[in-house]
Structure 1
Amino acid sequence: MVGLTPELIIAALAPTPRTARLVIGYSGGVDSHVLLHLAAAVPLLRERITAVYVHHGLQAQAGQWAAHCQQTAAHLAVGFQVLHVNAQPQPGESPEEAARNARYTALKALLAKDDVLMVAQHREDQLETVLLQLFRGGGLRGLSGMPERMAFGEGVLVRPLLAVAKQAIADYARGHGLVWVEDPSNQHSDYDRNFLRNEIVPLVKRRWPALDKTVARSAGHCAEAEAVLSDLAGRLAAPVFNPADQTLTISRLLAYSEAEQKWVIRHWLQYLQLKMPSQNLLARLQTEVLAARPDASPVVATADYCLRRYQDKLYCLPPHSLSLATGVWPHDQAAFVLNARQCLQCVPASTGIALTVWQQSCVEVRARQGGEKIRLPHRQGRHSLKKLFQEAGIPPWERELVPLVYLDGQLAAVGGYWLAAEFYCQSENACLRICLSKLPKAHDEMAFVD
């Protein structure tokens, strides 16, 4: 049995810098109160601790619970903070999921580099998590349950009590005379987790009393297998993944077995920070998209993204098309933001549009209307943009998002792809080059192993 002493907290924090700020998720319930009490019992940690109460606005007593938490934090001589969140569910989101997402989004924003968030999930919570994943048909990742330690925002999330039995936490709380709050919604079995906790797990544990311990052990086996297979998926994905446009090369992907293809696709979607696909979606992707003719443009879509092929590449795109901002590009701005994903930039260069011409012209960014043509440097005649896009292998859905740059009403540049011959010049450090750049998007660390 894991000993419920302050040494448990010290051991859990051993890999973290000794100066790291410690944030403890504190709801006022018995589990988080015990975690806070254990951590505050370590003098060297106490001054680094901030107890954080997340106010979901879902319970009438939430304000009273926040006040109780503040008093407890003051009694333990640790910092305290209240976070107010909007936990109303979005379409397709359960109340449980909405509250959890709102809570973790707010907590993630609190953490700076090396900061630690400690939460009080215990062994019975792990049991419930694994059972829920099992009933939903989860794969190895889901059946691995919750990790004891994981990257979280700029910092790290730690669960020091994950191997501790619920009964041990209750015994500790009573033995130390702790006072905690009881959330009445925990008794409502309408929610899946509460149904398991209140109705199913007590019944099953009558027959198998050590169920939480044995299921936690199985979750550990799944986590080990998941880690090995995830590393293998990264190695398989490396020669298939194209970093420039974050696509997969279909011909190389098809060289793998169907099972390997699924692992690579899951690994890719996880890298893109998207929800894991269902078995049905993966099957449709393999039969309708990967096996389609090279000149076909099939699409498999979810509420969060759509997967489609163009030539020999598999693209993952937003479910809704983006718009393109247009208007005058001020001379004093080096960038023109087009939408949430991309912008135009002008950078100094030795070839491109003459700086003096740029500064003396009215620069406009326009969207394609159709039928535009351009004369290119070192090529004969005028070329339709449609033909140029086809030659360059630019997917049809991306062409509408390529901005056109006009100088005094005359087409001068097509995104960062082509420059009109009328505006092309060569002069050392006296030109500007137009670039179409993606706006930065943070990714969780995910290895595509060479």
Structure 2
Amino acid sequence: MLIEKKIQEILYKYKKILIAYSGGIDSTVLLYNLFKLRDKYPLLLRAIHINHNLNYKSNFWMEKCFLQCKKWNISFIYKNINIKCKNSIEQSARKKRYQIFKNIIYKNEILVTAHHLDDQCENFFLFLKRGSGPKGLSGISRIKIFDNLILFRPLLKISKKQIINYAIQKKLKWIEDPSNKNTKYDRNFLRNIILPKITNRWPFFKNSVIRSIKNYKEQEELLTELINPILIKLIQKDNSLFIKPLYNFNIIKRNFIIRKWIEYNKYCYLPSRKILLMIWNEIVCCKNNNNSQIKIGTYIIRKYKNYLYCIKYFPNLQNNILLWNNVKVPLILPNKLGKLIVLNTNLNYKKESIYIRKPKNNEIIYVKFNISEKYFFKNKNNINSIWEKLSIPKWKREQIPLLFYNNILIAELENKLITKEGTATLFKKDNFFIFWNKIY
């Protein structure tokens, strides 16, 4: 058995295992070890094969993986993905793979991948190329938890040479993907050209890299431990960062705090020094009220008053007008905002809904977002003044549905604000409840 006893016990503890199975030598050795381990422990094994559709043989490879799992009596799942992005194929493929893993993982099941010692060394060089600090250079972890997914790498201390020797010894069959030889990909360039030359001159080099990774990991853990008491005070319940004290810190300390805060928000790709400088100069220190923002991947960093926010990016809805021709049918809102429902007499969500008058026969009902016009409510307060008093940041205002009859504002549905024109009449049959179901 290639998997050491301590790792076997960890796998047994979880019992339910989903294996990322490409059919290559690494994942085949891992699958075989888990298959043998099942004789010793009552494990529930499932294998998932992702067909990237990048090679004309990809369907043939999928079939071979299926037959291998059938032979070993392992439940087999396969999924197809298509990668349109030509510039960052590896990153796009990885993102799509992990989205699939999250969608099919069972409760209390762990995802197991075949990352090994040589992968760890390659990752070190890739992060070094990006100019990473201790966090990036501390390598990949054996166990990682993110987005409710537990990722476990049982072979992380096993070298590629050991894996190859083991596969030959056990007479295993695996798929050879020719793209692994294509050096236009950074990882393959390191694997096939750079690292063999280095290890040929310095055979001990990989072990030295692993020691450096351990040192960086310890440094990162120590820095995190020292900064955590400050970070706990600065991070708010809504995950925003209170930035006022940062003005008194030196650039090294404040950069580390901002980076750890972004990491706390579960953003996968940590910002570079350049991005951190932009966050400080263009957002934190921005004096005018132009709502500056910096987009990092699918997230944006913005400031409101004395707080910094890391929020999911959604397109601006300012020009969106959603006609609601039939109120008996729920109105689906964009940007995953949910749907609007007109409730009947069975008022299960009465407390969460808003009570307004029904539209007249000649009135068209529709929803708008992010309006620039001034609209007033019963207390004669302007809608933007109300939002300001409620401390609602601009980007949240942009996602609040506003209900109109013809060109007349009837209600703001987030805070249940009703205009004079939308106020329910004395006759109940002329009124109704609207419920905003945000889970959609």
TM range (shorter): 0.7 to 0.9
Structure 2 CA distance for aligned equivalents of residues 191 and 182 of structure 1: 17
Deviation at 1:209, TM superposition (A): 0.8
Name the aligned partner's letter for residue 236 of structure 2.
N
Most deviating of 362-371 and 35-44: 362-371
Any stretches of 5+ residues in structure 1 without a counterpart?
377-381, 441-450
Instruction: Indicate the residue corresponding to 1:419 in structure 2.
Output: 418
The TM-score, its normalising length taken from structure 1, stands at 0.79
Distance in 1 (alpha carbons) for counterparts of 2:392 and 2:74: 57
1:432-447 residue pairs with structure 2 within 5 A?
A: none
**Distance (Å, rounded) in 2 between the aligned partners of 1:311 and 1:255:** 18
Confirm or deny: 8 A CA contact 1:351 1:425 kept in the other structure: no
Taking a change above 3 Å as real, the CA distance of residues 193 and 286 of structure 1, as seen in their structure-2 partners, is same
Q: Which residue of 1 aligns with 2:232?
A: 238
- Between the aligned partners of 1:320 and 1:391, the Cα distance in structure 2 is 25
SS at match of 2:128: helix
More displaced 10-residue stretch of structure 1: 406-415 or 431-440: 431-440
Counterpart in the other structure of 1:348: 350
- CA spacing shift, 1:102–1:384, aligned 2, 3 Å: closer
- TM-superposed CA distance for 1:210, in Å, is 1.9
Matches of 1:117 and 1:293, distance apart in 2: 47
Find the counterpart in structure 1 of residue 375 from structure 2.
372
Alignment of structure 1 residues 274-423 onto 2, 5 Å: 274=267, 275-293=269-287, 295=289, 297-302=291-296, 304-317=298-311, 318=313, 320-322=315-317, 324=320, 326-328=322-324, 337=333, 339-341=335-337, 347-349=349-351, 353=355, 357=357, 364-367=365-368, 368=371, 370-376=373-379, 382-406=380-404, 411-417=409-415, 418-420=417-419, 423=423
- Whether the 8 Å CA contact 1:349–1:433 is kept in 2: the answer is no
The residue aligned with 1:37 is 32
Between stretches 58-67 and 333-342, larger displacement belongs to 333-342
Alpha-carbon distance in structure 2 between the residues aligned to 1:166 and 1:157: 20
Shift of 1:214: 2.1
User: Contact 1:122–1:166 at 8 Å: present in 2 too?
Assistant: yes
The separation in 2 between residues aligned to 1:83 and 1:7, in whole angstroms, is 28
**Cα deviation 1:100-134 (Å, max 9, x = unaligned):** 22333323322112212222121111111111111
1:52–1:316 distance in 2 versus 1, CA, 3 Å:
closer
Once the two structures are superposed, what CA deviation does each residue of 1:133-176 show, in whole Å capped at 9, x if it has no partner?
11211122221211111125544221111101221112111212
Query: For residues 237 and 437 of structure 2, what CA distance do their matches in structure 1 show?
Result: 14
Distance 1:436-1:232 versus aligned 2 partners, 3 A rule: farther
Give the counterpart of 1:186 among 180, 188, 193: 180
Are 1:260 and 2:253 counterparts? Answer: yes
Q: Deviations over 1:345-365 (max 9, x none)?
A: 8943499747xx569998945
1:290-345 Cα distance to aligned partner (Å, 9 max, x none):
22326564444445444333432333452742455633397668986353246668
User: Which sits farther off after the overlay, 228-237 or 417-426?
Assistant: 417-426
- Number of aligned pairs? 421
Distance 1:306 1:79 in 2: 40
CA–CA distance in structure 2, aligned partners of residues 349 and 31 of structure 1 = 56
1:65 paired to 2:61: yes
CA contact (8 A) 1:25 1:53 kept: yes
Question: Which residues of structure 2 form unaligned runs of 5+?
Answer: 344-348
How many angstroms does 1:255 deviate by? 4.1
Shift of 1:203: 1.0
Structure 1's 114 and 132: CA in aligned 2 closer, same or farther, altered over 3 A?
Answer: same
C-alpha separation in 2, matches of 1:179 and 1:224 = 39
Residue pair 1:114, 1:155 contacting (<8 A) in 2 also = no
Q: Are residue 20 (structure 1) and residue 15 (structure 2) matched?
A: yes
Q: CA 1:49–1:351 in 2, change beyond 3 Å: closer, same or farther?
A: closer
Mapping of residues 148-297 of structure 1, within 5 Å: 148-151=142-145, 153-244=147-238, 246-274=239-267, 275-293=269-287, 295=289, 297=291
CA RMSD of aligned residues (A): 3.6
Amino acid at match of 2:252: A
CA distance in 1, matches of 2:352, 2:130: 59
Deviation at 1:77, TM superposition (A): 3.2
Q: Residues 436 and 175 (structure 1 numbering): CA distance in 2 closer, same or farther, change over 3 Å?
A: same
After superposition, the Cα gap between the structure-2 partners of 1:174 and 1:261, relative to the gap in structure 1 and judged at 3 Å, is same
CA–CA distance in 2 between the matches of 1:240 and 1:333?
A: 44
